[in-house]
Chain A
Amino acid sequence: MKAGENSRKLLALALIWAALLLAPFWMPPLGGYTALGTRVLVLALAAMSVNFLLGFTGVLSFGHAAYFGLGAYGAGFALKFLAPSTPLSLICGTLLGGLAGAVLGALIVRRRGVYFAMVTIAFGQVFYYIAFQWSSLTGGDDGLRGFSRQPLDFGLFSVDILSNTDAFYYFVLFCFAVAVAVMGFILGSPFGRSMIAIRENERRARFLGIPIERHIWIAFTLSCFFMGFAGALYALLNNFADPRGLHYSQSGDFVMMAVMGGMRNFWGPLLGAAVFVVLQDYLSSITVNWMSFVGMLFVAMVLFFPRGLLGVLARRSAA
C-alpha cells in the first residue's frame, strides 16, 4: 500500500514539473502566453507561502499581502536606489518581507483564530496606508516606477530577462523551484512535523513539550520570507510595485487560491493560482465584473468541494 502511494506521488510530481518546464511551448497553442505562466508561478509561490501557515500550521493570516508588497517594494527600492542588479533586488525584497514578518509575528502569535486573522489584517493595512501616503518615496497611489529587471550577468555571458519573456519565465521557474524545494524540505523535517502537530491538535502538541508560540512564530517568519521572495519576483515581473499589492483584498486572493486548490495539499495553491489567474485573464477581457464570477466559483467550491480541487482529485485517485 505504501509503495503504490509513493509511486503515485512521484508520477504526480513528474507531471507537475513537466507541465511547468514545457509551459512556453504548450501555452500559446491553447490561447495563453508565456507572461501569463510567469504570473501563475509568482502568485502560486505567494499562495503556497500563505498555505505554509494555513494548511500546515493551521493558522490563518489574512494580512500576508503586506509581506508580499514589502517584498515588491524592497526589490523596487534596491533596483532604483542601490544598484542595477536582479539578484540583489531579490535578496532585498526577501529580507524586507521576512524581517518585517519576524518583528510583527512576535506581536501576533499569542492570538488565535479570528483574533489572529484580525491582527494580521490590521498590521497589513498599516503598511498599505504607509505606501499609499508616503508618495515621495513610494509613488503613492501611482505605485513605485522607474526601475526594471536587469540582465543576469554570469561573467562569461549574460541572459536578457527583460525583453525575452521565455528567458524570464525560466528564471522565475528556477526561483520558484528553489523556494518550493526549501519549503518541501522544511515540511518534511521534524520541525515541519511539529507544525502539522500544532495544526492537528494544539493542546496535544503543547503537552508533547512543543512550545507552541515559538513554533508558530518561526513558521510565520519563514512564511513571510517566502512571501517577500514572491513579492520581489512580482515587482520584477511588472517592473512596478503597487500599493494594492499590500492591501488586505490581495491577502484574500491568496487565501482564495489556497482554498480553491486544496490547502491540505502541498501543490494545491499552485492549481488554485492557475485557475484564478487564467480566469481573471479570460473573464476580465469580457466583463469588468470578472471578480463576481470568480467569487461564485469560490462559493461553489467551498460548498461542494471543501478540500479544494486537488483534494477531490487525490480522493478520486485513491478510491
Chain B
Amino acid sequence: MNALEIDNISKRFGSLVAVGGVSLSVAKGELRAIIGPNGAGKTTFFNLISGFFPPTTGKIVFDGVDATLLPAHRRVELGMARTFQVTEIFPELTVFDNLRIATEAANGCRLRFWMSREQNLKIERLVDETLELVGLRAKAYRLVGELSHGDQRAAEIAMALSLRPHLILLDEPTAGMGDQETFEVTKLIRRLHQSGNFTIVLIEHDMRVVFHLADKITVLDRGRLLAEGTPQSIAANHAVQEAYLGKAA
C-alpha cells in the first residue's frame, strides 16, 4: 500500500485551472520532490493534499483512507503534517511552548482542561526529544519570533514532527536561506528520511537540495504533470529543460 495515492486531482478558481488532473503515488518511506516553474500549481497541489481546500475533481487516498473531503484537522489526526512556504509559527511564544502545543494536540490533550502530573511529564519528555532531534534544545526558552530565519524553519519542521506524522509535506523548506542554513536544513531532512519513519514530500526551488535528497522527482508545469522519475532521468528530460529554460528558438 502506498502512503499517498492521488488520482486525477484538479482545482479550479473561477476560470483559472490551478491544478488540472494530476495523478501521483508516493511509496511508504519515499522522499519525493515536486518541482516546477513559478505558477506551476505546486503550492495549490500541497493545499489539496493537506486539506486547505477541497479539490474540484479527483480523489486523495492517504494510508488507504479516502481523505478527499476530510477537513485539515482530521488529516492531521491520520498522520499528515505540513509546513508552509512562509513560516507559520507562534512567534510570541517560546520554542518549547510552540512544540508543546503541537505535542498536546497530537496526543489528544487539546480539549483537556486538566492533565495529570505523569501526562504533563510525558508531554515535556516528547517535546525534549523533538528539540534534540532538530538541534534546538539550547534555544528552547527563546521566543520563536526572535530566532534566525533558519532556526524558525527548523522550529516549524519540529512542530510538524511533534504531530508524530507518517507523511510530512514541506513547502520550500529552504526558501530565503543562505548556504549554511540551507545545508543545515538539508541535513535535517536527510536524517529524517534515513530514519525510515517518514514519507516526505517536498516542494523545492533549490536544485542542489532536490537532486541531493530526492528518491524521485515530479515536475509540474501549468497545473499539469510534465514528468516523473529518478533525479538522473529528470535531469536528462528535454521537456523539463524546455519548461525551465524556454524552447530553443
Contact = CB atoms under 8 A, between A and B. Distances in A.
Interface string B212-240: 00000000000000000000000000000
A207 B81 contact: yes
A186 interface: yes
Contact of A189 (B76, B97, B115): B115
A152 interface: no
Interface in B91-114: 91-93, 97, 100-102, 104-106, 109-114
A146 interface: no
A195 to B, nearest CB: 10
A1 B141 CA distance: 10
A209 B90 contact: no
A190 B90 contact: no
Contacts of B82: 207
Interface in B66-85: 71-73, 76-77, 81-82, 84
A42 interface: no
Nearest to A189: B113
B73 A193 contact: no
A190 B115 contact: yes
A204 B141 contact: no
Interface in A156-213: 185-186, 189-191, 193-194, 196-197, 200-201, 203-212
A194 B141 contact: no
Q: How large is the interface on B (under 10, 10 to 19, 20 to 34, 35 or more residues)?
A: 20 to 34
Interface in A1-16: 1-2
Contacts of B106: 208-209
Contacts of A205: 101
Interface in B160-216: 163
Contacts of B146: none
B113 A197 contact: no
A209 B77 contact: yes
Contact of B90 (A186, A196, A206, A215): A196
B84 A186 contact: no
Contacts of B60: none
Contact of A204 (B77, B89, B97, B112): B89
A52 to B, nearest CB: 14
Contacts of B114: 189
Interface string A253-264: 000000000000
Instruction: Identify the 5 closest CB pairs spanning chains A and B, nearest first.
Output: A209-B76, A200-B90, A204-B88, A190-B109, A190-B104
19 contacts: A189-B114, A191-B110, A191-B113, A193-B97, A194-B101, A196-B90, A196-B93, A196-B101, A197-B105, A200-B93, A204-B88, A205-B101, A207-B88, A208-B106, A209-B76, A209-B106, A209-B110, A209-B163, A215-B111
Given A194-B110, A196-B101, A209-B105, 18 more contacts: A189-B115, A190-B113, A191-B111, A191-B112, A193-B101, A197-B90, A200-B92, A201-B89, A205-B101, A206-B73, A207-B76, A207-B81, A208-B101, A208-B159, A209-B72, A209-B76, A209-B77, A209-B163
Interface of B: 50, 71-73, 76-77, 81-82, 84, 88-93, 97, 100-102, 104-106, 109-115, 141, 159, 163
